[in-house]
Structure 1
Amino acid sequence: MATILRNGASNDNPKFPFAVEPGRRTRVRWRYRRLVALTRCHTALTVPFHMIGTLLQRGDWRGRIEAQRALLRFLNGLDWLLRDPKTVVGRTPYTTILHQGKLEVRRYHLGSVKQRYPVPIVLVPPLMVKPFIYDLYPGRSLVAFLLERGFQPYVVDFGEPDEADQIVRLDQYVVEWLPAACRAVREDSGVETLSLLGYCMGGVFCLMYVAVEADHDVRNIVCIATPVDMSKMGILAWVAKLAGKQVETLAHTLGNVPGGLSSTAFRLLTPMKNLTRYTDLFLNLWNHEYVTGFDAMNQWVGQFIDYPRDAFVQFTREFMQQNKLARGQLTLGGKVVHLRNVHSNVLVFAGKTDQVAPPAAVRALLGKVGSKDKTFLLVPAGHMGILAGSQAPTQVWEPMARWLAARSRRAKARQSRHAIAKPATRMQAAAS
């Protein structure tokens, strides 16, 4: 059994004019034996070579390319069938600096990579998804990218809600848990100055936190696909208004909104892509990076977590139906959220084909914040692609790194180190 390199280099075997990777050959042999043991069938061992032999007889460059792809399609398909897709995501090493209840804060690190910029970056995830969206897989990991560029990233994990969290509201995320996470980062890094980065609702959390807490030491805020004017969210805004109070009835029947239900609803936004995704996978099985990306994106959507009942009702009613955030009428923790109180430097990304957070809903942020330094970038991407698509590193991550680098060269040292206040448990927080 032989495998081939992607550069198509020749070896000395005229019957198989492609270079061999010995390490991969050993792995594939082991997987063959496992496949045969599982299927009790040896046909799979000969089919791809018959296919390749036919293609090579064509004698042209296209035949050779197709032969390469046919073999790679078989090998990658075998690898895809046998591996656990959960092992693809979240592979950058980290240290947990705060673990209180379900709230965690993680400091990421990469071997000998040195920190060049003293201002740490706190990455805040949206509800419904796990924080590994910032660390999908090697080559598509935002935290690894930031580390390589000399930044120190921290990731907040709000945990997975359970039945006891039905009465949790958005107030707890913004005025209790996110402040606790920022305190932990400041204690760990020894500096007061922070940058916040949020994707989708995570960006809304960052803006609301700074507006409510008046945290003037948050120097920079990066918002990726972050809607602020919910009236411009297209079909989602229309559905929310059409549903009316039936949303509350449904939520009290279901309790927490199941992650599987959210996942199905998300996939329905792009029905044709959902129908053809496995066809696309087969056609691209020869491309190992495509297969890895397919698994990672599937894990992203397939591992949606539950949405706390009261937080979901609050978001639907006060954000989607009444648009209180954009109107300056939203109250969290007894305080009105005025986005004009945000004076941090702000960088905003929107995707041209984003159906969840359309550009108009995202661009509205610029007219709401009180920042003098604010930048808006429109990129050709959808809602997931803008954060982790194949073009995200060049179209989003690189411009973001340059923007942050120019604003992260100095940081204010933390003067005193107090014990990090323990956030209330979720039941206590919701009841207070």
Structure 2
Amino acid sequence: MIHQLLEQADRRAGIDARRALLRFLNGIEWLVRDPKTVVGRTPYQSILRQGKLEVRRYNLGSVKLRYATPVVLVPPLMVKPFIYDLFPGRSLVEFLLEHGFQPYVVDFGEPDEADHLVRLDQYVLDWLPAACAAVRADAKVEDLTLLGYCMGGVFCLMYVAAHRDTKVRNLVCIATPIDMNKMGLLAWVAKLAGRQVETLARQIGNVPGGLSSTAFRLLTPVKNVTRYTDFFLNLWNHEYVLGFEAMNQWVSQFIDYPRDAFVQFTRDFMQQNKLARGQLTLGGRAVHLREVRCSLLVFAGKSDQVAPPASVRALMDKVGSQDKTFSLVPAGHMGILAGANAPKLVWQPMVQWLSARSQKVTVPAVRRLSGQRTQRSAEPAKRRAAGAN
């Protein structure tokens, strides 16, 4: 018995020594790292540049496409589109490619002072239609799958509802709140300080990304205290370190929110809940969720404090879709899209769902990188065109 205990102690000491060495090596690597090289490493090609708008087709050397229906990923405002491509093994675009789908990512660009008059109308009525048209032309198909995370999902829903685009074959919404009255603390703050927030926004112009980042962190104060302790304890785990850095880049690189779009969202969505109530108009066009009739897959996170499950589940009763699926998974607002368990809890069920609802190619197509210049999605796009608003 004592001999067995000593052997276990020796093994434990060996494990502890190995982890101590890995903790040291990973710590040195983390200190000298270039954070920008962590995220957005899957090669892509731009198929559209229109002002600040860009649409990217992602590639992995040569891939066998098994499905002719492309997947168009739409990001929310405030965050950069690399959330769909964090790092190898934690990249949704990479995962889609590996499962035979062709992903495209929409990048709305980074607003500057000239964009303070940009409203949600332009995202939904101008830029998303242009992005979808570019994808259709590039993929040489009409049917699309739209995928949106958080407000990106709201954009997808509003696009389909406003344009009644029957060629959107599938729609995937991840952590997408619809009933703002069920958003908990955020809804309470918006209603309590709505006018003050609107007045402040009109004074300062675009809402700074740093302010949004701080507000986001304040939603989980305890986690912000313990995150670096957890980081040190797991510093021996290289994948954990990569995930920590990627998530840190996500939150620390929030971009500015156009002033008028922010005021419009605060008033029409957070305060008056117009989309859920069927009272929303964009550019004089009614936006009714009942006009969404495509196949619909919705994911909500049990511990999501930004988009609580009740605010997401409400979508199921608003749309006109007959084929609709709701999935509640054990995850928070960021983890549901790109956490360590996201591939198992969300991505894998999603590709299985899409596989049954996407047009298959007769002969698997191999798409190789052409002579066009391949870019990395971590590289900032320089898009400064006049009149973008």
Instruction: Tell me whether the two structures share a fold, i.e. TM-score over 0.5.
Output: yes
Is residue 324 from structure 1 mapped to residue 274 from structure 2 by the alignment?
yes
Is residue 281 from structure 1 mapped to residue 231 from structure 2 by the alignment?
yes
Query: Size of the alignment, in residue pairs?
Result: 362
**Structure 2 counterparts to residues 298-317 of structure 1, below 5 A:** 298-317=248-267
Match of 2:293 in 1: 343
Shift of 1:253: 1.6
Of the three residues 277, 290, 308, the one matched with 1:358 is: 308
**Structure 2 counterparts to residues 116-265 of structure 1, below 5 A:** 116-265=66-215
Shift of 1:257: 0.3
Is residue 104 from structure 1 mapped to residue 72 from structure 2 by the alignment?
no
- The residue type equivalent to 2:340 in the other structure is S
Specify the SS of the correspondent of 1:378: strand
Listed one character per residue, the Cα deviations across residues 98-142 of structure 1 (whole Å, up to 9, x for unaligned) are: 011100000001112210000000000000000000000000000
Match of 1:36 in 2: none
Listed one character per residue, the Cα deviations across residues 155-181 of structure 1 (whole Å, up to 9, x for unaligned) are: 000000000000000000000000000
Do the aligned partners of residues 400 and 197 (structure 1) sit closer, same or farther apart at CA in structure 2, a change above 3 Å counting? same
Shift of 1:236: 0.3
- What is the aligned-residue identity percentage? 78
Distance 1:356 1:140 in 2: 22
1:165 and 1:427 in contact (8 A); partners too:
no
Do the aligned partners of residues 159 and 373 (structure 1) sit closer, same or farther apart at CA in structure 2, a change above 3 Å counting? same
Shift of 1:410: 4.7
Distance 1:429 1:228 in 2: 28
Do the aligned partners of residues 340 and 58 (structure 1) sit closer, same or farther apart at CA in structure 2, a change above 3 Å counting? closer
Do the aligned partners of residues 83 and 428 (structure 1) sit closer, same or farther apart at CA in structure 2, a change above 3 Å counting? closer
Match of 1:269 in 2: 219
Of the three residues 224, 243, 260, the one matched with 1:293 is: 243
Match of 2:377 in 1: none
Specify the SS of the correspondent of 1:245: helix
Distance 1:410 1:193 in 2: 12
2:52 and 2:388 in contact (8 A); partners too:
no
Do the aligned partners of residues 60 and 167 (structure 1) sit closer, same or farther apart at CA in structure 2, a change above 3 Å counting? same
Which structure features the higher share of strand residues? 2
Of the three residues 45, 49, 52, the one matched with 1:95 is: 45
1:172 and 1:429 in contact (8 A); partners too:
no
1:168 and 1:427 in contact (8 A); partners too:
no
Structure 2 unaligned runs (5+)? 1-5, 362-383
Distance 1:247 1:324 in 2: 19
Q: Which has the larger displacement, 270-279 or 387-396?
A: 270-279
Distance 1:59 1:386 in 2: 38
1:169 and 1:314 in contact (8 A); partners too:
yes
Of the three residues 309, 325, 337, the one matched with 1:375 is: 325
Distance 1:355 1:272 in 2: 13
Q: What value does the CA root-mean-square deviation take over the aligned residues?
A: 1.6
Structure with greater Cα Rg: 1
2:51 and 2:388 in contact (8 A); partners too:
no
Shift of 1:429: 6.6
- The residue type equivalent to 2:357 in the other structure is R
Shift of 1:57: 12
- The residue type equivalent to 1:206 in the other structure is C
Listed one character per residue, the Cα deviations across residues 54-94 of structure 1 (whole Å, up to 9, x for unaligned) are: xx999611111100000000000000000111110000000
1:167 and 1:427 in contact (8 A); partners too:
no
Specify the SS of the correspondent of 1:114: strand
Shift of 1:333: 1.6
Structure 1 unaligned runs (5+)? 1-55, 412-424
Distance 1:329 1:57 in 2: 70
Distance 1:118 1:274 in 2: 43
- The residue type equivalent to 1:394 in the other structure is K
Is residue 114 from structure 1 mapped to residue 90 from structure 2 by the alignment?
no
Distance 2:360 2:193 in 1: 49
Match of 2:368 in 1: none
Do the aligned partners of residues 331 and 71 (structure 1) sit closer, same or farther apart at CA in structure 2, a change above 3 Å counting? same
Distance 1:429 1:277 in 2: 39
Specify the SS of the correspondent of 2:64: coil
Specify the SS of the correspondent of 1:375: strand
- The residue type equivalent to 2:262 in the other structure is F
2:74 and 2:106 in contact (8 A); partners too:
yes
1:230 and 1:323 in contact (8 A); partners too:
yes
Could you list the structure 1 runs, at least 4 aligned residues long, displaced by more than 4 angstroms after superposition: 56-59, 425-430
2:70 and 2:139 in contact (8 A); partners too:
yes
Listed one character per residue, the Cα deviations across residues 265-313 of structure 1 (whole Å, up to 9, x for unaligned) are: 0000111111121111111110000001111000000000000000000
